[in-house]
């Protein structure tokens, strides 16, 4: 490439970065209809996404971890001090059931999480109950219990930094992690 072309590309990239930094953050409405507040230091997400395709990323291979994350959703959120599944997460949970039934060789780990409020012991117990709520839902709908492990991280692995209500809301979750069997 000519040096002038490289300079132009760098300028365009810099301009796009500046524009993105000025984009106001809004609450995210996920594919399951749940609203999750934005968090500073997290890329802006305009809402539900379809399958990944095009560009340099390529398409999510069916049965891959990326397929699960992008097309099904790997995280559900909970109310404060609760481990009850909210009604708006049922479509996501049902999509997880369908995906896991389609790919019976995949094993998963449900990771329960809590926000930073409360003692370490309380949050570990709450995270365990959240993980078990997700596990129970999947098992009741036909996913083999032997394919599912659970663990609680309590408040030890936050996905959102800070001590704001929006960060707390993001950290009250259960994450379904693919352990093995998915195509990579």
Q: Map out the domains of the chain as residue ranges.
A: 28-180
CATH architecture of 28-180: 2-Layer Sandwich (3.30)
For the chain, what is the largest distance between any 2 Cα atoms, rounded to a whole number of angstroms?
62
pLDDT tens-digit series, residues 121-175: 999 999 999 999 999 999 999 999 999 999 999 999 999 999 999 999 999 999 9
Q: Quote the pLDDT of residue 45.
A: 40
- Residues 30-54, mean pLDDT to the nearest whole number: 45
List pLDDT tens digits, range 74-105.
999 999 999 999 999 999 999 999 999 999 99
pTM attached to this predicted model: 0.69
State mean pLDDT over 97-118: 97
pLDDT value at position 59? 76
pLDDT at 104: 96
DSSP 2: -
Please report the pLDDT score of residue 177 as a whole number: 97
pLDDT at 32 over 60: no
């Amino acid at each position: 490439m000519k040096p002038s072309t490289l300079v132009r590309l760098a300028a365009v990239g810099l301009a796009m970065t500046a524009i993105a930094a000025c984009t106001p953050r809004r609450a995210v409405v996920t594919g399951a209809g749940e609203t999750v507040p934005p968090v500073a230091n997290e890329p802006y997400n305009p809402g539900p996404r379809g399958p990944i395709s095009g560009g340099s990323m390529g398409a999510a291979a069916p049965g891959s971890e990326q397929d699960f994350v992008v097309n099904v959703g790997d995280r559900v959120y909970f109310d404060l001090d609760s481990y009850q599944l909210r009604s708006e997460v049922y479509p996501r949970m049902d999509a997880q059931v369908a995906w896991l039934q389609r790919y019976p060789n995949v094993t998963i780990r449900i990771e329960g999480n809590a926000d930073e409020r409360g003692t370490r012991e309380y949050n570990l117990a709450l995270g365990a109950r959240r993980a078990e709520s997700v596990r129970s839902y999947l098992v009741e709908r036909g996913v083999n219990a032997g394919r599912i492990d659970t663990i609680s991280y309590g408040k030890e692995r936050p996905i959102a930094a800070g001590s704001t209500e929006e960060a707390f809301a993001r950290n009250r979750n259960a994450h379904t992690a693919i352990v093995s069997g998915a195509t990579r």
